[in-house]
Amino acid sequence: MIKVQQEDFDVGAEIAALKAGRTDIGAVVAFLGTFRDQAGTVTALTVEHYPGVTEREPEHIEAEAQARWPLQASLIVHRVGTLRPSDNIVLVLTASEHRQAAFAAADFLMDYLKTRAPFWKRESGPSGSTWVEANAGDDAASARWSEVKKAAE
């Protein structure tokens, strides 16, 4: 499940909701991405998205994660709008019987968010504002999942 929202989220409340009514979960991994000010050079972050696609497309990716690992539940929360340093940006939760699957699936979902989900960030600071450039390291991190899949086949 994915939630795209302007408002902040409560990590503890999201984990509690994921676990509610379930007695089979043995491991929950949470990744929280937060806004860093890069030594005071960035004072605001604006996140834009492609409405409709950001809510729908990740469901296919979560389904892929569930096919790769024995996941019991997952959740993505991504904020949009204008954020301030230290604000929460993104939360990924994965739940499984054992930690390995939950760690790997959370890593996989984050790589998807970094390289394929249609969100864009704009950083503003004392010297003006610029769109964040895509990071080649993120592409490489994402590509390793297809290598892992090929190796497994």
CB–CB of 139/127 below 8 Å? no
One residue of 48, 81, 87, 149 binding another protein per CB under 8 A: 48
| CB 60 to another protein: min, Å | 11
Among 47, 61, 83, 102, binds another protein (CB under 8 A): 47
Q: At what angle do helices 136-152 and 99-115 cross, to 10 degrees?
A: 130
Supply the minimum distance, in Å, between the C-beta of residue 103 and another protein: 17
**Smaller CB separation from another protein, 89 or 101:** 89
**Residue of the chain from 43, 66, 88, 115 that contacts another protein (CB under 8 A):** 115
Residue 56 makes contact with another protein by CB under 8 A? yes
- Binding of another protein at residue 6 (CB under 8 A)? no
The yes or no reply on residue 118 touching another protein (CB under 8 A) is yes
Task: Enumerate residues 6+ apart whose C-beta is below 8 A from 72.
Answer: 22, 24, 25, 95, 96, 97
CB of 81 to another protein, least distance (A): 13
Alpha carbons within 13 A on the beta-carbon side of 28: 21
Residue 54 beta carbon to another protein: minimum distance, rounded to whole angstroms: 8
Distances (CA, A) of 100 to 51, 129, 145: 33, 40, 15
How open is the CA angle 151-75-93, to the nearest 5 degrees?
70
Cβ atoms within 10 Å of 132's Cβ, excluding its own: 12
Nearest CB to another protein, comparing residues 25 and 44: 44
Residues that bind another protein (CB under 8 A): 33, 47-50, 52-53, 56-57, 78, 89-90, 110, 113-122, 131-135, 138
